[in-house]
Structures are given as structure tokens and as C-alpha cells.
Amino acid sequence: METNEISDMYLAAAFLAYDVELISIDRSDAHRQRFCFSSKIDHIWVMDGGIAVKRNEPSVDEMKTRFTAKDLLFPPSYPDAIRRIKSAIHST
């Protein structure tokens, strides 16, 4: 199974909020933990010309790009996903 390492906690929270499978957490560097996610993303919602559009099976790169470009819409579970990521970071 192909995995993707994400060290940005807010991007990692977006992956969790979209129910992308969290495979493992690399804690080898306590100051820069990496969250390893599956490459399978069912769907995301993005803004496209002021309209919310559902993108089915986007690539990881598309999700990262949409996040960086501030086009990615966050599901209602995003605040909880941030709390879960923070909890994982501080539970070492």
C-alpha cells in the first residue's frame, strides 16, 4: 500500500477529516512528527470559481495543492480532527 508522509498538522487534520486512513505516525524526530496516510482519498470538496465542487478520487498532490491554495473546503469534522492530531503529537 502506498503511503504519504505529512508533517503539517493542519494538512494531516484535513486528511483525517476526509476519512483518509492513518497508517502510522513516525515519531523518530520529536520536533517534526510525520503522519503516514493511505493514498486512497474517496473525495474532497473544493471551491471552483465560487462554487463548491465535489472531486471524486483526487490524488494526494491535488489535495495538498488545494489545501495550500486555500481552495479545499473542510468537513464539519475538521475541528475534531485538529484536536486528534494535537493529542497524537502531545502523547509521546
pLDDT tens-digit readout, 23-40: 999 988 878 899 999 999
Copy the grid coordinates of residue 89: 503529537
Residue boundaries of the structural domains of the chain: 3-84
pLDDT of residue 90: 84
Query: Amino acid identity, residue 89?
Result: I
| Confidence band for 1, pLDDT divided at 50, 70 and 90 | low
CA atoms within 13 A on the CB side of 43: 7
pLDDT tens-digit readout, 66-78: 999 999 999 999 9
Among 21, 4, 3, 8, smallest CA distance to 85 is for 8
